Structure 1
Amino acid sequence: MRLLLVRHGQTRSNVEHLLDTAAPGADLNDLGREQAAALVPALGGLGIGALTASTLVRTQQTAAPLAAHLGLDVAVTDGLREIEAGQAEMRGDEGSVRRYLDVLAAWLEGDLSAAAPGAEDGHAFFARYDAAVAHALAAARASGVQALALVSHGAAIRAWAGARVRNVTPEFVIATGLGNTGVVELVGSPEQGWTCERWAGAVVAPEQAEAAGAGAAAEPGPVF
């Protein structure tokens, strides 16, 4: 099975470095809509047979052009939404953003009890994200689909990939960014495990993933 984890296009909250993690969230801005349209030539020939987005509108808007091109409906699930910011929601100060990203780093290092004030911990995040992935995969398998795309969020994709993909280390995830409409391309299954073939277009080999900072350059600012 081929699983494509796609980050949404740019929003005004991205530009302003705001912790915009609650539904419905910001719409795509003009550049974000252009980025979403560009997914059609980038992904349209990969045999994608199913599309799922989170409950935040920016992921559904990102998926829409590709869905229209492929003649697919976009399934929507709450499990793919962004990691919660809690009491720091819609804040953009350096301290709030750093504490948010420190939670992501703690989860990747095995401390799933870490949580931002008023937000979910790692146990809750991985439970709902794992369930969303499993549900999408089950539906794809039932329909004979061999490639599917999940349109989600930067921090959520990085956290899940860092914990569930065999050749992507926590150090790689922490040091490597994922820009708007960046794609993490995986092959495998929950039963056999997942391998990352490309991260934002860069081929990921085992030796790359073991070296912090390999692949795409680290992205400045929040990744929501």
Structure 2
Amino acid sequence: MTTVLLIRHGRSTANTAGVLAGRTPGIDLDEHGRDQAVRLAARLAEVALDAVLCSPLERTRQTAQPLLAARPDTLFELDERFTECDYGTWSGRTLKSLAEEPLWRTVQAHPAAASFPDGESLAAVSARAVSAVRSWNAKLGEHATYAVVSHGDVIKAIAADALGMHLDLFQRLQIDPCSLTVVRYHGTRPAVLRVNDVGSDVSALIRAVVPEAGAAGDAPVGGGAGAGG
């Protein structure tokens, strides 16, 4: 079972300004975002990570730094497939102004059909991000636990795929700054352990969950005893 910790970057200067940053260079974490990254690293201090993978943008690399500071020997790699959606001409504009665009309603109600002007489609974002997770699962092995530091829409797309949700439903997922979403991949299907976790105990991630019966990765009929059982 491969466990993937999906981490959205901490709060950025663009987040507080209400601006869609996209891939605009020079967007950093604000002071609160840096504090969020430090606190997340402290929460995950006892969780062994085989790798930390990261979008190349500044705000994700800054979020990853506290994680890596405690793990100097952990594999770290920038992976373009986890980078932010290319929002094209929408990048750098305020969310308030974008809400007036006809495409906004498509993004909200039918994201699988949304393609940003001079940019990328959300379907393409989903395809590259899910493919990246699958390839890293194969590379790191079935007993690995690794972190991916990325962006809201990218994480929503990966989580939607793991939940078996059509991409048109992915706006139902909330992914806050510096939140933790965890997916465990079995041979037969993924299991989503948590979504948009911003403060709960993570001790269950320190050890593998042992199935109560059946093949490894089987869901316990009736719900089971939980991680602390």
Please state which band the TM-score falls in when normalised by the shorter chain: 0.7 to 0.9
Q: 1:157: which partner in 2? A: 155
The RMSD of aligned alpha carbons is 2.6
Alpha-carbon distance in 2 for matches of 1:28, 1:200: 19
Note the alpha carbon deviations across 1:123-168, whole angstroms, 9 max, x for none: 4223321332233323322xx8520000000111112211x11366
Task: Answer yes or no: is the 8 Å Cα contact 1:2–1:146 preserved in 2.
Answer: yes
Q: 1:166: which partner in 2? A: 163
Unpaired runs of 5+ residues, structure 2, are 201-229
Note the alpha carbon deviations across 1:85-108, whole angstroms, 9 max, x for none: 11111001424157458436524x
Distance change >3 Å, CA 26–CA 138, structure 1 → 2: same
2:116 aligned with 1:116, yes or no? yes
Q: 2:3: which partner in 1? A: 2
Q: 2:195: which partner in 1? A: 199
Note the alpha carbon deviations across 1:42-98, whole angstroms, 9 max, x for none: 112222221000011111110111111122242101110112211111001424157
Deviation, structure 1 residue 172: 7.1
Alpha-carbon distance in 1 for matches of 2:29, 2:162: 29
What fraction of aligned residue pairs are identical, expressed as a percent? 26
Alpha-carbon distance in 1 for matches of 2:48, 2:105: 34
TM-score normalised per structure 1? 0.76
**Range with greater deviation from structure 2 (12-21 or 125-134):** 125-134
Task: Answer yes or no: is the 8 Å Cα contact 1:6–1:181 preserved in 2.
Answer: yes
Equivalences, count: 195
Deviation, structure 1 residue 179: 1.3
Alpha-carbon distance in 2 for matches of 1:105, 1:82: 20
Distance change >3 Å, CA 100–CA 182, structure 1 → 2: farther
Task: Answer yes or no: is the 8 Å Cα contact 1:9–1:28 preserved in 2.
Answer: yes
Higher-Rg member (1/2) = 2
Q: 1:67: which partner in 2? A: 68
Distance change >3 Å, CA 101–CA 183, structure 1 → 2: farther
Alignment of 1:34-183 (within 5 A): 34-71=35-72, 72-97=74-99, 99=103, 102-103=106-107, 105-107=109-111, 111=112, 113-141=113-141, 146-162=144-160, 164-166=161-163, 173-183=170-180
Distance change >3 Å, CA 25–CA 129, structure 1 → 2: farther
**Range with greater deviation from structure 2 (63-72 or 114-123):** 114-123
TM-score normalised per structure 2? 0.74
Alpha-carbon distance in 2 for matches of 1:42, 1:172: 30
What is the letter of the counterpart of residue 184 of structure 2? V
Alpha-carbon distance in 2 for matches of 1:194, 1:123: 20
Unpaired runs of 5+ residues, structure 1, are 204-224
SS in 2 for 1:200: strand
